[in-house]
Amino acid sequence: MNLPELFQLDFGLPWVLLLLPLALTPLFERQRDSIGIPSLVWLPADTLGQTLRKVGTCVAAVCLATLIIALAQPGTSKNYIERIGRGAELSVLMDRSASMDAEVRRHQLKPGEQARPSVSKNQVVKEALSWLVNTRPDNRYALTLFNVSAIPVAPFSDDEALILAGLAASGIGRGPNKTNMGLALVSAIEQFDGRSYSGSRAILLVSDGGARLDDTTQQQIRAGLTRNNISLYFIYIQSSANSPDLETVGPDAEDVVEEIALHQFFQQLGTEYRVFQANDPESMKEAVQEIDQQQNLPLAYLEQIPRVDYSRWFYIAAAICCLVLAVLTTIRVHRL
């Protein structure tokens, strides 16, 4: 416990401090110690005795004060240690529209391969991302769901349980129809505004569709990604055999399909962009693993350590005061 920490003491039960005036009780004269003596004039002044008595009174007051402070549970709760880990600030932007509740498209069964139970896209995404959060707790995560509007669920925090609870919640019930990806992207980019740069930054866009973005939105997104130095990863969940393969489309591909239009816009961004296509739990997990490897640069972060309780030291101090008091009473100096 060094000095700056002392000033950050907080109390688990601050109201107990209201009892502190009780620490003054030893300062009052106690008649119990008095002996009726008609005159004190003939007695020599006992300076040493008087001093000892004053010391005793002070020790008693300190004893009561420390004991009352101990009962108020002093400690420091905002303890951070700066650490350098490996990872990134990842903002997960997850499609939460009704289409994500549909089942994933499986690859064609090979001869002899057993059919597996069907899972919704939502479920697949949820599991892969939960895996990422569990294996890389050093990363800092934020979670935003989107459909027509952007729904920020968890801002950037060091509490990975918050993100896991958000991911768990994303699998419950059905989402609304329609999406507005432009608005969602702008909102995810804004999460980085005003944050000090502590390591690599990325937005993980997970969706089963694309969007045709108007010029204003395109400019906002381009400027925002550059301004905040954000990489963009687009995990595209293929819905059906008709879903386009974004990795094979050339620059001259017809952008009639929304996904292709979006992909082509992303490719023209000045900032880092990669697309991952997933059509089953395995490919989804591969995509997430690859992103994890990409975003494995040094990251400065503050780790919060649990509240440190100092009441034990105050209890011990009070006990020592009591012992000192007891010893003080044994001292009688005969020097007449």
Partner 1 sequence: MNPLMFIKKLFSRPNRIVLLAALLLLLTPLLKPVTIERNVYTFQIGFDISQSMNVADVRTNGELATRLDYAKTMAAGLLQSLPCGSHVGWSVFTGRRTLTLLTPLEVCAHYDGLVSSLASVSGSMRWNNGSSIGKGIHQIMRAADEFSAPASIIFMTDGQEAPPLEQGQRGVPNTDKFEVSGMLVGVGGSKPVPIPKTDPAGNPIGFWSATDVVQRVTAGSRIGGEELSKRDDERLTSLARLTNLEFVVLDSVDNLVSEAKSDSFAARRDTLTDIRWIPASLALLLLLWHFLPRYVDITAVQRRINVSRQTQ
Contacts of 182 (CB under 8 A, 6+ apart): 211, 213, 214, 217, 220, 221
Q: How far is CA 119 from CA 89, 281, 333, in A?
A: 29, 9, 89
To which residue do tokens 């707790």 refer?
Answer: 137
Type of residue found at 12: G
Please tell me whether residue 176 binds partner 1 under the rule CB under 8 A: yes
Q: Is 139 helix (H, G, I), strand (E, B) or coil?
A: coil
With CB under 8 A as the contact rule, the residue among 47, 111, 330, 335 that binds partner 1 is 330
Q: How far is CA 60 from CA 65, 106, 122, 320, in A?
A: 9, 78, 66, 11
CB of 230 to partner 1, least distance (A): 20
| CB environment 79-88: b (16+ within 10 A), e (fewer) | eeeeeebebb
Please tell me whether residue 74 binds partner 1 under the rule CB under 8 A: no
With CB under 8 A as the contact rule, the residue among 96, 126, 136, 201 that binds partner 1 is 96
CB of 127 to partner 1, least distance (A): 15
With CB under 8 A as the contact rule, the residue among 18, 20, 25, 216 that binds partner 1 is 25
Burial of 204 (0-12, 13-18, 19+ CB in 10 A): buried
Show the site string, 143-162: x = touches partner 1 by CB under 8 A, - = not.
--x-xxxxxxxxx-x-x-xx
**Helical ranges in 19-77 per DSSP H:** 47-71
Please tell me whether residue 28 binds partner 1 under the rule CB under 8 A: yes
Please tell me whether residue 39 binds partner 1 under the rule CB under 8 A: no
What are the tokens at 243?
Answer: 């879903």
Please tell me whether residue 165 binds partner 1 under the rule CB under 8 A: yes
Please tell me whether residue 172 binds partner 1 under the rule CB under 8 A: yes
- Output 247 or 309, the one with its CB closest to partner 1: 309
Q: Which of 248, 180, 176, 173 is nearest to 209 (CA)?
A: 180
What are the tokens at 14?
Answer: 């601050």
Angle value at C-alpha 87, between 268 and 295, nearest 5 degrees: 30
Please tell me whether residue 14 binds partner 1 under the rule CB under 8 A: no
Please tell me whether residue 261 binds partner 1 under the rule CB under 8 A: no
Phi-psi region of 10 (alpha: psi -120 to 50; beta: other; left: phi over 0): beta
- Output 165 or 249, the one with its CB closest to partner 1: 165
- Output 155 or 298, the one with its CB closest to partner 1: 155
CB of 85 to partner 1, least distance (A): 19
CB of 112 to partner 1, least distance (A): 36
Applying CB under 8 A, which residues contact partner 1?
A: 22, 25-26, 28-32, 34-36, 60, 63-64, 67-68, 70-71, 73, 96, 145, 147-155, 157, 159, 161-162, 165-166, 168-170, 172-176, 178, 311-312, 315-316, 318-319, 322-323, 325-327, 329-330
